Homo-oligomer: A and B are copies of this chain.
């Protein structure tokens, strides 16, 4: 089961690249690129494992030199007009994340939703939506892709696992693109990496 599950997740991640929408990905990267250049704050949020994936992304933004915060950290700066909020929720229905995204909209922050559901409450609030596939979505909406290409007749990864693992790799690829656009190399990231951490 270990090997089949590993292959299934890795295959799903690989296959998800072909269903990511180019214009959504570009819009997301563009917002982040401009946020850097205009010295805007970024606040990353998500509940549960989606929140952890968001935190991993936020760490790399910090290494890139962003003024970035994470919902749930002790130290968080206020969000203001023009700041960027990245909200991650596979279902797009997590109550606390929607409440937080609404608060961000009230102060005119730019809200980006990373979700499987384009028609979810979170996506509707957002200025930019990036659809990242999760199990349900693919098996319902993109049936051929799911069954034929990914072989998801019997999903082994429970709950939001596929969404979370896809989003992890997706956001790490966004970091690579941002490094390129902002002209950062690995050495600069290393210098901004915490030297006392747990």
Interface residues of A (CB under 8 A from B): 1-7, 9-11, 13-14, 17, 25, 29, 43, 45, 47-49, 51-53, 55-56, 58-60, 62-63, 68-79, 85, 94-97, 99-100, 103-104, 107, 156-159, 161, 164-165, 168-170, 172-177, 179-181, 186, 189-198
So how many copies of this chain end up in the complex? 4
Q: What CA separation (Å) do A85 and B197 show in the bound complex?
A: 13
Q: A103-B196, A196-B100 are in contact. Are A173 and B63 (CB under 8 A)?
A: no
Q: Is the interface of A mostly helix, strand, loop or mixed?
A: helix
Closest residue on chain B to residue A185 by CB atoms: B158
- Contact assessment for B100 and A74 in the assembled complex, using a CB-CB cutoff below 8 Å: no
Q: What CA separation (Å) do A177 and B97 show in the bound complex?
A: 31
* Residues on the B chain within 8 Å of A100, using CB: 95-96, 196, 198
Q: How far in angstroms is the closest Cβ of chain B from A198?
A: 4
In the assembled complex, 8 residue pairs joining A and B whose CB atoms fall closer than 8 Å, in A order, are A6-B169, A10-B10, A10-B13, A52-B59, A58-B75, A60-B161, A85-B196, A159-B190
